[in-house]
Amino acid sequence: MAAAATLIRFWSERGPRERRILLLGAAFLAALMAYLLFIEPAASGIVRLQRLLPQTRAQAGRLETLVAEAKSLRAMAPAATPDAADARSAIDKSLREAGLKSTHSTVLPGGELHLSFLNVAYGPWTTWLFTAEHTLGVHALAVRVKANETPGNADIELSLRLPRG
């Protein structure tokens, strides 16, 4: 209450010309504050969004292309998967083509194949596994990798689920 009384006393001590100047100054400050708080951020935001609009449209176009490609891929018939015997020979062939040789190979009941590799280059082996999973339809069930003394090589035990025909 004391602040209001002080303000009223200050205002009543001013002449009409001073009051007009103070009102004009307060109106100017209020307009400046309104511009800085409301108009300028909105205007700069509009300019920024207008600059980003072509990029966003291009990204939306690329996304629509990818969606259309995914839909067409879904509509395609799945690749024929070989039966377990054919898969086993295809795995052996793919290992030879990749330059890999398993030291031990065992067919387990339930359509699983256990392979062991000693001192094999890890990079080509991982490439072979990726390719085998995607082209032959096998699925890695368990992989155990142990680093070898030779840099980049490892001892690997792998269990694969063979496709069912």
The secondary structure of residue 152, as a DSSP letter, is T
By the 8 A CB rule, do 144 and 157 touch?
Answer: yes
By the 8 A CB rule, do 159 and 114 touch?
Answer: yes
- Identity of the residue numbered 92: D
By the 8 A CB rule, do 160 and 112 touch?
Answer: yes
What's the mean pLDDT in 124-143? 90
126: helix, strand or coil: helix
Tokens 């449209």 belong to residue: 57
Is it the case that residue 154 has pLDDT exceeding 80? yes
Angle at 71 between CA 68 and CA 77, to 5 degrees: 140
Domain ranges of the chain: 2-75, 84-161
Rounded to whole angstroms, the Cα distance separating 40 from 24 reads 22
Is it the case that residue 23 has pLDDT exceeding 90? yes
Answer CATH for 84-161 from 3.40.50.1370, 3.40.190.10, 3.40.50.300, 3.30.70.60:
3.30.70.60
- The per-residue pLDDT for range 93-118, each reduced to its tens digit, is 999 999 999 988 888 877 788 999 99
- Which one, of 98, 143, 104, lies nearest residue 123 by Cα? 98
pTM of the model: 0.49
Is it the case that residue 165 has pLDDT exceeding 70? no
By the 8 A CB rule, do 87 and 138 touch?
Answer: yes
In DSSP terms, which residues pair with 134 in a beta bridge?
none
* CB neighbours of residue 25 within 10 Å: 10
By the 8 A CB rule, do 165 and 84 touch?
Answer: yes
Chain CA centroid to CA 147, Å: 30
